[in-house]
Amino acid sequence: MTLDFPGADKLVASLDAAVALGDDRAVTDALRKSLCELICDEEVRLPACVLEPISDHYARRELYTSPEHGYSVIAMTWGPGQGTKIHDHSGMWCVEGVWRGRLEITQYELAERDDVRYRFVPAGTIEAGTGSAGSLIPPHEYHTIRNPSDKAIAVSLHVYQRTMVRCGIFTPEDEAGGGGWQRRGERLLGTDQVN
């Protein structure tokens, strides 16, 4: 799938060049650099629909899937206060850039696993602003994302190693404590319509 928006060819060419490097670390480093440059490039303007939040969940809009390299590009629109639970990327690398607004990203490390139960420890929280980008490479892929604003939307661009159709979502066993144990469930990921 490819959407037509100003600078789409430039965005795809830059991402293709980064992904062609092959090695996960080299690819994600190059993608982070490319996203930071593309976000600031006035020739690249994402479709207007990515500025439209959805009231009951953050929006996921597919912008491109590479037929040659297999990576996919998803624009996410975060309404005020919208966010995720702790989740993983099912073993895929991902590079995320903040296109507009601010996002609070908390990374978690797996402290302990007991069959189907997981316990995490926070490994740091950053508030990322427009023009910044970060990456997740398994096994360091557990995180949450949240729009900390109570008024403004945020938009992020996510480049996934492959089309991400599911991820693991972690839910606390006991809201009142429970020793911090969480259970992993699978969440099928859809995309919201692009106008």
Domain CATH number, residue 58: 2.60.120.10
Place of tokens 């953050």: 58
- With a cut of 50, which residues of the chain have pLDDT below it? none
Give pTM, 2 decimals. 0.92
Candidates 97, 60, 62, 110; CA nearest to 82 is 60
| Angle CA 23–27–134, to nearest 5 | 130
What pLDDT was estimated at residue 178?
61
Q: Is 35 part of any domain?
A: yes
Q: Is 12 part of any domain?
A: yes
Candidates 155, 144, 150; CA nearest to 122 is 144
Query: What is the distance between the alpha carbons of residues 8 and 63, in angstroms, rounded to a whole number?
Result: 9
What pLDDT was estimated at residue 137?
87
**Token pair for residue 21?**
């490097």
Query: What is the distance between the alpha carbons of residues 34 and 71, in angstroms, rounded to a whole number?
Result: 15
Candidates 127, 147, 159, 166; CA nearest to 24 is 159
Q: Is 2 part of any domain?
A: no
Q: Is 81 part of any domain?
A: yes
Contact in structure between 130 and 101 (CB atoms under 8 Å)? yes
Q: Is 3 part of any domain?
A: no
What pLDDT was estimated at residue 130?
96
**Token pair for residue 67?**
């037929």
What total of structural domains would you count in the chain? 1
Domain that includes residue 179, residue range: 8-188
Q: Is 149 part of any domain?
A: yes
What pLDDT was estimated at residue 95?
96
Q: Is 195 part of any domain?
A: no
What pLDDT was estimated at residue 139?
85
